[in-house]
Amino acid sequence: MTFIKKNYGWMLVAILAIFPLFVIFKMINIDFSNGLSITLIEGAASEGKTTLEMLYHVSGEFAIRWMTAVLTCTPFFILFGANNLFVRQAMGIATAVWSFIHFILFLFAEGFLETFTELNYIAGFLAVLILIPLFFTSNRKSMKKMKSKWKKLQSLAYATIFLSLLHVAILDKTWIIYAVIVGVGFGIRIPVIKDNLIGFRKKRRITKV
């Protein structure tokens, strides 16, 4: 029970991140009879999309959603005073995993060389490259070993969200939703606004007491 109390937030993020994978598993067929064979199940998608298009859509959407969620952790702390570093790390891992899945699907469909043919592909590829070191250092052991360098490395997440928004913006208009959320989050981080919000929150807490 003690383990669950200490890690319930991390566990909740893991469940929420893993659950959509069942959607993907329904669209692919994995066969071990003659070695490992993975094929797409045509007709498994909806909304008039092919199976591959739906896999693109699902993996890409969850990647950008988790990335946006990670960057709202600090504004959430400023507004409500609730903070859990390890939950944020779990969100970062979820972001990386879904981004890797999205990129692997792209390689499966288009091939590696296609990555460099369009600006949105290049932006997405750079975002994935940045996520690799962030993914492998999102743990307590790396935090203790790297110390102050760990925060500097993790700050590259800002570049990742910029590249990801650019990647999505070129593809469709849904990027506006994420851009607004991220923009508001960065606005809350501005020192003057941040200090005022924290001060207001503390005054309300004292008043209630």
Question: With contact defined as beta carbons under 8 Å apart, do 24 and 58 qualify?
Answer: yes
pLDDT of residue 99: 93
Q: Which of 26, 63, 20 is nearest to 44 (CA)?
A: 26
pLDDT of residue 18: 86
46 phi, psi to nearest 5 deg: -125, -175
Write out the two tokens for 62.
Answer: 């969850």
Which residues in the chain land under pLDDT 70?
1-8, 35-36, 43-48, 82-85, 173, 205-209
How far apart (Å, rounded) are the C-alpha atoms in residues 96 and 121? 17
pLDDT of residue 122: 92
Neighbour count for residue 105 (Cβ, 10 Å) = 18
Q: For 89-109, what is each residue's pLDDT tens digit? A: 888 889 999 999 999 888 887
Write out the two tokens for 101.
Answer: 């899945």
pLDDT of residue 123: 92
- What's the pTM value of the predicted model, to 2 decimals? 0.82
Q: For 18-49, what is each residue's pLDDT tens digit? A: 888 887 777 777 777 776 677 777 766 666 67
pLDDT of residue 98: 92
pLDDT of residue 126: 94
How far apart (Å, rounded) are the C-alpha atoms in residues 106 and 179? 24
